[in-house]
Amino acid sequence: MNDTVPTDVTASDASAEKALVTVENVRMHFRVGSPLAALVGGGASVVKAVDGIDFQLRQGESVGLLGESGCGKTTTGRLLLKLMEPTAGRIGFDNQNLADLSGAALSAFRRKAQLIFQNPFEALNPRFTIARALNEPIANAKVPIGERKELIIRAMELVRLSDPEQYLDRYPHQLSGGQLQRIVMARALILEPSFIVADEPVSMLDVSVRAGVLNVFRDVREKLGLTAIYISHDLALVRYVCQRTIVMYLGRIVEDGPTEEIVREPLHPYTKALVAAVPIPRPDQSHEPLPIGRGAPDARNPPSGCSFRDRCPLAHERCAIEMPAPTRVGERLVHCHIYDE
Amino acid sequence: MSELQDNNILLSVRDLKVAYRVGSKDVMAVDGASFDVPAGAIVGVVGESGCGKSTLVRALTRVLARSARIAGGEAFFEGTELFGLSEPDMNKLRWRDIAFIPQSAMNSLDPVYTVEAQLHEVLMQRGGMNRKEARQRSAELFEMVGIEPQRLRDYPHQFSGGMRQRVAIALALTLEPKLIIADEPVTALDVIVQRQILDQLKELQQRLGISVILVTHDISVVAYTCDKMVVMYAGRVTESGDTATVLTAPFHPYTMGLYNAFPDLAAAGGVLTPIQGAPPSLISPPPGCRFAERCPFCQAACRTVVPALIEVSEGHNTACHRVAEAADLRVKAAATETWEANA
């Protein structure tokens, strides 16, 4: 890693050709605490769920958004789908500014950008048959009635549900978790989107069926050339479906680069701890203590400078004063002062 | 029961059956489970949701849902048969000898009392301590699990998920039990916190020389933490033995399949191979081996005859009709096509 000379870069120069999604200095701040408490001078405070992130997604790229709970990964996913408006910054999709979309352009965007939900047991209306659940998005998109059934069957075949007709009249509770998650995927894919956000899509599934759903996700994405964001806290899963990974900590990006390289040699001290913490299913693994301080990230009170410094074993004075800018190391962007001095 | 003579066995479970009343039928959530917990060891009970692992360990504390009952079998704890004990006698064992950490520590702590009050309740009512002793012991316990004793006065909601899990471990340790049963203690936690909690649990277990039963669905957690493991499938034990042996040379096709389906960060790239299908319904379980329908090595006998749990080498048990061919099956099971052919 030290054979490449680190140079300062701005995030926007990362091969801009054919960027489908561009995220520029996006922030999402939530006000927490009661308004009454704020009136009497108490602490209505601000949680900076996303605090200035920059990245681009190239057409057809699959990128993992990795981090612990509360790091802002799910908020980022929601912002990308325009399910909420950012406090600051700009999100571009296909050369349009998401903030400007309305009317027909917004409908078109909604068709092109889809979400795969985390919990398949809750993502489908229990009182809708599978046919009705799958019909809903295409009916909303005003697909002629005559074409709908064919679309439904095709979407189900795409997610490898064999003999799809058998599921049409069934209700969600009659299906297994793996089957349900495939239906949820079929529903997201039925309008032929170009961009998918998958938020922990297998975390509710058992290990033995998880692999099947991941394989479908991986194959479908490749086959259709979809651009995808895969949100997860599990690096082993991200690695299985994403060539590139963005690691987040307390609302900021700490490392961004090819997944294999991150797994093999994490650069940021936080990523190092994250990789070391993943247990592997073998008896002969390392039991070294984690290179990270105790405690949990506090989103209401992040430390000054680098938000990881209070848990970082390598933190020095500069980390408290200056927020680290992204530094290019090989194919990676690392936000850490170790690499920019 | 040669195990009874064996001083190293703390808990010996034999042919345990737990039934849930569903309508007018009994559903056997645990249908004949046998395994041993040696003194000073961590034993992992691993399986998918609905395999009966939580019901199994709850039965050992005899705290079950109202619709559930122990329908057969025995559990010897230091030679005492637990299921034959009167309720007051069983109650004496709880906390003092066998402590339980429930699945979600978040819900196991009372939100309206400080954690100190909850520790004191156990220490004073169960442990017979006075307030001063209880206060001192609480502080010790907090230090033991790595929380500053000042935080004893805090309420559960003031702790993060990982901290609450530590509080639950502290609670379980209050009366220095010989056995701690932890049901999915790290499931809802992030990997870094998960690792810290597991390290803590392991360190305490070694320092205090206690035994732990750790219930989990995650074989990597078992690989990291447990000396021994018990694999359950659809209410039955399919394989048990030393973790290293079971993971490196499994005898049951289910264990082989589980291993294939699990992402391994230390392995290069690779393919994840799912096990086709889903576990059978326990309302009308199949007559033979419960894994038969999903097993790529299923033969005619597997569908009709229940395989017995037999010892394949010392301390390593498997319930499979094809144990004799295990080495051969292991090679075949490593190939993705083997599992796809069964689709």
| Amino acid B106: pLDDT | 64
Question: Three-state SS for A62?
Answer: strand
Q: What is the DSSP letter of B83?
A: T
Residue A193 CA, distance from chain mean position: 17
Q: At what angle do helices B326-333 and B253-261 cross, to 10 degrees?
A: 20
Residue reference for tokens 């295990």:
B326
Average pLDDT over residues A22-45: 77
Average pLDDT over residues A55-80: 94
- For residue B46, list chain A residues with Cβ-Cβ distance below 8 A: none
Task: Say yes or no for a CB contact (<8 Å) between B223 and A273.
Answer: no
Instruction: Indicate if the pLDDT at residue A123 is higher than 50.
Output: yes
Mean predicted lDDT score pLDDT of chain A: 89
Q: At what angle do helices A177-189 and A207-224 cross, to 10 degrees?
A: 20
Q: Answer whether B54 touches A (CB < 8 Å).
A: no
Residues in Cβ contact with A1 at an 8 Å cutoff, skipping those fewer than 6 apart: A265, A267, A329, A330
Residue B186 tokens read as: 């790290």
Residue to mutate among B200, B265, B338, B340, with most A CBs inside 10 A, is B265
Give the burial string for A145-159 (b: 16+ CB within 10 Å, else e): eeebeebbbebbebb
DSSP H/E element including A45: strand A45-58
If we measure between CA atoms, which residue out of B9, B23, B42 comes closest to residue B200? B42
| Amino acid A297: pLDDT | 74
Give the lowest-confidence range in A175-179, A247-251, A286-290, B66-70: A286-290
pLDDT band at A36 (very low <50, low <70, confident <90, very high): low
Sign of CA dihedral A318, A323, A329, A332: positive
Domain residue limits at B50: 2-97+177-340
Q: Is residue B205 in some structural domain? A: yes
Mean predicted lDDT score pLDDT of chain B: 91
Nearest CA in chain A to B343: A162
Residues in Cβ contact with B124 at an 8 Å cutoff, skipping those fewer than 6 apart: B130, B131, B134
CA distances from A149 to A57, A132, A144, A210 (A): 33, 11, 10, 28
Q: Is residue B118 in some structural domain? A: no
- For residue B274, list chain A residues with Cβ-Cβ distance below 8 A: 178, 208-213, 215
Q: Is residue B147 in some structural domain? A: no
Q: Is residue B128 in some structural domain? A: no
Mind telling me how many Å the CA of A103 is from chain B's nearest CA?
40
Q: Is residue B9 in some structural domain? A: yes
Q: How many CB atoms lie within 10 A of CB B340?
A: 12
pLDDT band at A43 (very low <50, low <70, confident <90, very high): low
Instruction: Indicate if the pLDDT at residue A337 is higher than 50.
Output: yes
Number of independent structural domains in chain B: 1
Q: Is residue B167 in some structural domain? A: no
What residue type is A167 in one-letter code? Y
Residue A132 CA, distance from chain mean position: 28
Average pLDDT over residues A137-160: 94
Q: What is the DSSP letter of B16?
A: E
**CA–CA separation, A238 vs A245, rounded Å?**
8
Which one of A211, A278, A284 has the shortest CB-CB distance to B191? A278
Residue reference for tokens 């995030």:
A11
Residue A145 CA, distance from chain mean position: 34
Residue A113 tokens read as: 């950008």
Task: Say yes or no for a CB contact (<8 Å) between B266 and A207.
Answer: no
Q: Is residue B140 in some structural domain? A: no
Q: What is the DSSP letter of B94?
A: B
* List of chain B residues with pLDDT < 70: 1-7, 105-106, 269, 342-343
Question: Three-state SS for B63?
Answer: coil
- Residues 64-123 in B contacting A (C-alpha not used; CB under 8 Å): none
Nearest CA in chain A to B242: A283
Q: Answer whether B148 touches A (CB < 8 Å).
A: no
Q: How many CB atoms lie within 10 A of CB B308?
A: 11
If we measure between CA atoms, which residue out of A4, A65, A2 comes closest to residue A259? A65
Which one of A68, A210, A280 has the shortest CB-CB distance to B192? A68
Q: How many CB atoms lie within 10 A of CB B49?
A: 13
Residue reference for tokens 């299923």:
B298
Q: Are A247 and A253 in contact (CB under 8 A)?
A: yes
Q: What are phi and psi of B70, to 5 degrees?
A: -80, 115
pLDDT digit string (tens) for B152-171?
999 998 888 888 888 998 99
Q: Answer whether B275 touches A (CB < 8 Å).
A: yes
Mind telling me how many Å the CA of B15 is from chain A's nearest CA?
26
Q: Answer whether B165 touches A (CB < 8 Å).
A: no
Longest dimension (CA), chain A: 68
Answer with the residue of higher pLDDT: A294 or A262: A262
Q: CATH number of the domain at B93, please.
A: 3.40.50.300
Give the burial string for A34-65 (b: 16+ CB within 10 Å, else e): eeeeeeeeeeeeebbbbbebbbbbbeebbbbb
- For residue A266, list chain B residues with Cβ-Cβ distance below 8 A: none
- For residue B223, list chain A residues with Cβ-Cβ distance below 8 A: 279-283, 285
| Amino acid B1: pLDDT | 39
Task: Say yes or no for a CB contact (<8 Å) between A277 and B278.
Answer: no
Sign of CA dihedral A165, A170, A172, A174: negative
What residue type is B21 in one-letter code? R
**CA–CA separation, B269 vs B83, rounded Å?**
49
List the A62-66 sheet strands across, edge first: A7-8, A327-329, A332-334, A252-258, A244-249, A62-66, A227-232, A195-199, A113-116
**CA–CA separation, B245 vs B253, rounded Å?**
15
Residue reference for tokens 């559903």:
B27
Q: Is residue B199 in some structural domain? A: yes
Instruction: Indicate if the pLDDT at residue A5 is higher than 50.
Output: no
Q: What is the DSSP letter of B151?
A: G
Residue B168 tokens read as: 């639950």
Instruction: Indicate if the pLDDT at residue A4 is higher than 50.
Output: no
| Amino acid B238: pLDDT | 97
**CA–CA separation, B256 vs B160, rounded Å?**
37
Residue B178 tokens read as: 């010989």
Mind telling me how many Å the CA of A206 is from chain B's nearest CA?
6
Nearest CA in chain B to A175: B278
Nearest CA in chain B to A287: B224
* DSSP per-residue string spanning B96-137: TTEEEE-S-HHHHS-TTS-HHHHHHHIIIIIT---HHHHHHH
pLDDT band at A39 (very low <50, low <70, confident <90, very high): low
Task: Say yes or no for a CB contact (<8 Å) between A283 and B244.
Answer: yes
Which one of B259, B265, B271 has the shortest CB-CB distance to A236? B265
